Structure 1
Amino acid sequence: MPGVTNAAAVPPFAGAGNLIYRATEVPRFVRGSGCHLESDDGRRYLDAEAANGTLALGYDASILQEAARRCLDLPALPSFCESPFRLGLLERLERLFSGVLGVPGRVELDLGGAQGMETALRIAFSANGPGTVVVFEGAFHGRSGVTSMLSASPRYRELLAAWGLEVVRLPSPDCRTCPHADRSSDRCGTGCVGAVTRWGSELSGVGGTGFRRKVSAFVFEAVQNVGGMVVPDPALLRAAVDHARAQGAVVIADEIFTGMHRVGPRWGFELAGVEPDVVVTSKGLTNGGAALSAVWAREPLADADHYPPGSHSSTFVGIPHALAVADTVLDRWEEWRTVRDDVELLADGMRKRLAYLAEAHPVLVSRTDATGGTARIVLTGPHAPRLRQLCGTVHPRLGLLVASTGMAPDVINIHPPLVITPEELDAMNEVLDLALGAVEMELPCG
């Protein structure tokens, strides 16, 4: 079986805690184009992971080249200074949210997804006062000190966590793991809906509008990426959102992964027909070219009376290069007039190809699903880490990058650049077919 010749263990000068080094041997990439990366030994890799969903438009150097031209006259800016460039981007971003939700709002910028989530909580706490935050089991909202408290895995809280933050977890929206689910159906029943709308009562242990210690925010993902590419039942999500709002909570949509057409519509919350109060997005805004997140809050949550100046600050949220990258990427999105239809075609293409794999490998594959530019292979056991590893080496000429997480070791997550072609999807399936076969050979009964 071919190996990766340029791989090496963790260098003595590199911190080993980074996810890069979750494998003992990793390739070292030197260039990228379209949906492909190339390592320093010349091996090509098809990226079906897209930098964790960030590179929706693929590896495109022209975005950075154009962005650099836009900020030549203002290469840097002090963090407390405003610019017409930043104001123009804020106005442009605001329309992306209010145009869908039909209500005006305001936009704050931050660096990454976790920082954006913390800014969203600041806005919610400014409105309601610091209080309990409600999330779903299986959620992932970041690894910072605050957001690690929101994320499901206890592993994220072992080294750094904001222990004073009270977090309540609703039952998982994944029918595979929800204790209230009807195993004969993929739809949520009355028990599931009841379980996510029980809080706020005297008996629930979680305060609502009638209590001083109340829920300040309800945070949800339209699709739980790290939790195993879980799409909540729309009826369940609508019930949870409606109940949270009735209890006075600020409803926060985490669109860091799902935003900008990753799951079909511009925002993932459109899938369920819900209307959040605050939206956090990041990855699709810069196509991996800069660290930037945007937090939209409906009026008047982020006005000067509710969220006064000094409530938020970040050194690099006005850096012209990052603003220029976002501005350039938004141009690309505007030029892609058929994006929603094209993403649905991508979903159909992945759905058909993965169904073939499920039929060819019934011992390993339990089911497959696709939603927009995301898909998953649900395995019959915790084989995802090994399958992910084999995808990089099993084919003689082509490596494949796919995702798996510690929270869902039986799921392979697939979310390629949205510009991936049918021919590249065929190549993806070829590598997956070989890798699944190799895992089958390693099983005790193989």
Structure 2
Amino acid sequence: MTSIDYRLPQRRVLVTALPGPRSAALTARRQAAVAAGVGSAAPVYAADVDGGVIVDVDGNSLIDLGSGVAVTSVGASHPRVVAAIAEQAERFTHTCFMVTPYEGYVRVAEELAALTPGGFDKRTALFNSGAEAVENAVKVARLATGRPAVVAFDHAFHGRTNLTMALTAKSMPYKAHFGPFAPEIHRMPLSYPYRDEAGLTGEQAARRAISRIEVQIGADSVAAIVIEPIQGEGGFIVPAPGFLATLAQWARERGVVFIADEVQTGFARTGAWFASEHEGIEPDIVAMAKGIAGGMPLSAITGRAELLDRVHAGGLGGTYGGNPVACAAALAGIEVMRSLDLPARARAIETAVVPRLRELAADTDVIGDVRGRGAMLAVEFIRPGTDAPDPQLANAIAAEALSRGVVLLTCGTYGNVIRLLPPLVIGDELLADGIGVLAEVVRDLTR
């Protein structure tokens, strides 16, 4: 990655205890105005964000190891993205592509056809959120195949709409008491190397799932397989080699649409443009969002032309889908990713961070697994001497790290995983400081 001129000093500075008085006052206002069902990981309120730091309303400068859940890979205020947003906003903020189209939407579709895996003819539709992208991918698959059933996997997270909640595996907080859910969703076992039986290969895990699909559903009834190449909210689970490829081959042979949910893994996050590339697979449809547009709301599905072009005019879309300002941000963000070679930067982050995490695991007895790819890394915490998940420790680590000026996120089906999603433009010294704080906290809480 070439050098970056940051707008804010890239260092951790605490001027108050956290949360500070202004953040505490905002929390009181929030409780009187914002629905209680909207949660936040940290009780501090952002005032300015640049590179790898978040400056809160009290003037504290915090190290950002979350990127707004893998969104601000190019930073939350990259000057090229900001300039593109301003330029487009001066011209127009909205016409609705379904009413009066514009070039930015077309250019984003062209970029996604070039970036996503597969050399076949592709088409794209743009939306607002990852859940919308996944839901529309399923719509396309069902229409194109004429089949009803959709296969999802253990530990999956695909969104918060009714259909994507049905696809999602974890009940609390995503599904509890929100049903009934969309029908014809069938869940199959994932490859989870840390918790699978010893010696189970990726291909064997895939054959286990395929056998259940054929027995319980029947291949002729399956419209689509929907899977994250690396599980996100489920715990950053990287399937064993061969798992995804075996599923994709079976899907191709049976006329099943293979949908890769790359909402969290896409756009250089894992050290490739898309995580599917690590396994050499070419999904029929890729669902994208998060890192696509430098923090602006935008999502997409890109897939085989013969699938997406089967849908009748008006069957895909939405009032705000492919908003012109968000499209301008996406085009600028992709340009930044290319110019800075952020896939390579993600690989460099992995090289710098993983050895330190493994050293920490060797020094303590509370880490069961260190895993991930690129700048999508995770630590799974367990109770000493067992494989039992320890969500209390994971939550305590995140809270204590925040008190020392580092923003961390938890995840996992069992709530026992700390995930690391730093902005890809974070500097080496700031990243090292953030990982150092994490290690210090783990040792302090477990010694």
TM-score range, shorter chain: 0.7 to 0.9
Task: Give the residue type in structure 2 aligned to 1:65.
Answer: A
Is the aligned partner of 1:271 residue 2:278? yes
- Structure 2 residue aligned with 1:5: 20
Matches of 1:375 and 1:219 in 2, distance apart?
22
Is the aligned partner of 1:354 residue 2:357? yes
Task: Give the residue type in structure 2 aligned to 1:19.
Answer: G
Query: Please, what TM-score do these two structures have when normalized by structure 1?
Result: 0.88
Q: Which moved further from structure 2: 66-75 or 347-356?
A: 66-75
Task: Give the residue type in structure 2 aligned to 1:333.
Answer: M
Task: Give the residue type in structure 2 aligned to 1:317.
Answer: G
Q: CA deviation at 1:161?
A: 4.2
Matches of 2:320 and 2:445 in 1, distance apart?
45
> What is the CA deviation profile of residues 290-321 of structure 1, one whole-angstrom value per residue up to 9, with x for unaligned ones?
11101112021111xx1110112311124321
Query: 2:238, 2:371 within 8 Å by CA — same for their partners in 1?
Result: no
Choose the corresponding residue for 2:319, options 312, 315, 321: 315
Query: 1:350, 1:370 within 8 Å by CA — same for their partners in 2?
Result: no
Choose the corresponding residue for 1:403, options 402, 409, 415: 409
Query: 2:194, 2:369 within 8 Å by CA — same for their partners in 1?
Result: no
Query: 1:82, 1:318 within 8 Å by CA — same for their partners in 2?
Result: no
Query: 1:199, 1:208 within 8 Å by CA — same for their partners in 2?
Result: no
SS at match of 2:416: strand
- Structure 2 residue aligned with 1:96: 115
Q: Which moved further from structure 2: 262-271 or 157-166?
A: 157-166
Q: CA deviation at 1:65?
A: 2.8
Matches of 1:61 and 1:346 in 2, distance apart?
19
Query: 2:93, 2:325 within 8 Å by CA — same for their partners in 1?
Result: yes
Q: 1:264-303 alignment to 2 at 5 Å?
A: 264-288=271-295, 290-303=296-309
Q: CA deviation at 1:246?
A: 2.2
- Structure 2 residue aligned with 1:255: 262
Matches of 1:162 and 1:271 in 2, distance apart?
37
Matches of 2:259 and 2:192 in 1, distance apart?
20
Is the aligned partner of 1:230 residue 2:247? no
Query: 2:166, 2:182 within 8 Å by CA — same for their partners in 1?
Result: no
Q: CA deviation at 1:167?
A: 1.5
Unaligned runs of 5+ in 2: 1-15, 383-389
- Structure 2 residue aligned with 1:239: 246
Question: Quick one: structure 1 residues 190 and 321, their matched pair in 2 at CA, closer, same or farther if it must change by over 3 Å?
Answer: closer
Question: Quick one: structure 1 residues 406 and 13, their matched pair in 2 at CA, closer, same or farther if it must change by over 3 Å?
Answer: farther
Query: 1:366, 1:378 within 8 Å by CA — same for their partners in 2?
Result: yes
Matches of 1:235 and 1:74 in 2, distance apart?
47
Q: CA deviation at 1:335?
A: 1.7
Q: Which moved further from structure 2: 377-386 or 44-53?
A: 377-386
Matches of 1:117 and 1:149 in 2, distance apart?
12
Question: Quick one: structure 1 residues 74 and 59, their matched pair in 2 at CA, closer, same or farther if it must change by over 3 Å?
Answer: closer
Matches of 2:414 and 2:232 in 1, distance apart?
10
SS at match of 1:348: helix
Choose the corresponding residue for 1:110, options 99, 110, 127: 127
Task: Give the residue type in structure 1 aligned to 2:19.
Answer: V
Q: CA deviation at 1:343?
A: 2.0
SS at match of 1:198: helix
> What is the CA deviation profile of residues 116-173 of structure 1, one whole-angstrom value per residue up to 9, with x for unaligned ones?
1111111101101251111110111111111000011133333434634211112122
Query: 1:36, 1:59 within 8 Å by CA — same for their partners in 2?
Result: no
Query: 2:394, 2:417 within 8 Å by CA — same for their partners in 1?
Result: yes
Matches of 2:350 and 2:134 in 1, distance apart?
28
Query: 1:364, 1:379 within 8 Å by CA — same for their partners in 2?
Result: yes
Task: Give the residue type in structure 2 aligned to 1:83.
Answer: Y
Higher helix residue share: 2
Question: Quick one: structure 1 residues 411 and 427, their matched pair in 2 at CA, closer, same or farther if it must change by over 3 Å?
Answer: same
> What is the CA deviation profile of residues 78-105 of structure 1, one whole-angstrom value per residue up to 9, with x for unaligned ones?
34221223223222322222xx311111
Question: Quick one: structure 1 residues 40 and 301, their matched pair in 2 at CA, closer, same or farther if it must change by over 3 Å?
Answer: same
Matches of 1:189 and 1:255 in 2, distance apart?
20
Q: CA deviation at 1:2?
A: 4.8
Q: CA deviation at 1:422?
A: 2.0
SS at match of 1:143: coil
Question: Quick one: structure 1 residues 247 and 69, their matched pair in 2 at CA, closer, same or farther if it must change by over 3 Å?
Answer: same
SS at match of 1:356: helix
Question: Quick one: structure 1 residues 190 and 237, their matched pair in 2 at CA, closer, same or farther if it must change by over 3 Å?
Answer: closer
Question: Quick one: structure 1 residues 236 and 321, their matched pair in 2 at CA, closer, same or farther if it must change by over 3 Å?
Answer: same
Matches of 1:240 and 1:11 in 2, distance apart?
46
SS at match of 2:418: strand
Q: CA deviation at 1:430?
A: 2.3
Query: 1:197, 1:239 within 8 Å by CA — same for their partners in 2?
Result: no
Q: CA deviation at 1:190?
A: 6.1
Matches of 2:424 and 2:369 in 1, distance apart?
23
Is the aligned partner of 1:420 residue 2:426? yes
Question: Quick one: structure 1 residues 280 and 426, their matched pair in 2 at CA, closer, same or farther if it must change by over 3 Å?
Answer: same
> What is the CA deviation profile of residues 207-245 of structure 1, one whole-angstrom value per residue up to 9, with x for unaligned ones?
213xxxx01110111110111111111211111222223
Aligned residues with identical type, % of pairs: 25
Is the aligned partner of 1:193 residue 2:193? no
SS at match of 1:234: coil
Task: Give the residue type in structure 2 aligned to 1:377.
Answer: V
Over the residues paired in the alignment, what is the CA RMSD in angstroms?
A: 2.1
- Structure 2 residue aligned with 1:80: 99
SS at match of 2:49: strand
Matches of 1:295 and 1:46 in 2, distance apart?
32
Question: Quick one: structure 1 residues 162 and 274, their matched pair in 2 at CA, closer, same or farther if it must change by over 3 Å?
Answer: farther
Query: Please, what TM-score do these two structures have when normalized by structure 2?
Result: 0.88
Q: Which moved further from structure 2: 155-164 or 58-67?
A: 155-164
Question: Quick one: structure 1 residues 102 and 41, their matched pair in 2 at CA, closer, same or farther if it must change by over 3 Å?
Answer: same
Matches of 1:29 and 1:386 in 2, distance apart?
22
Query: 2:268, 2:337 within 8 Å by CA — same for their partners in 1?
Result: no
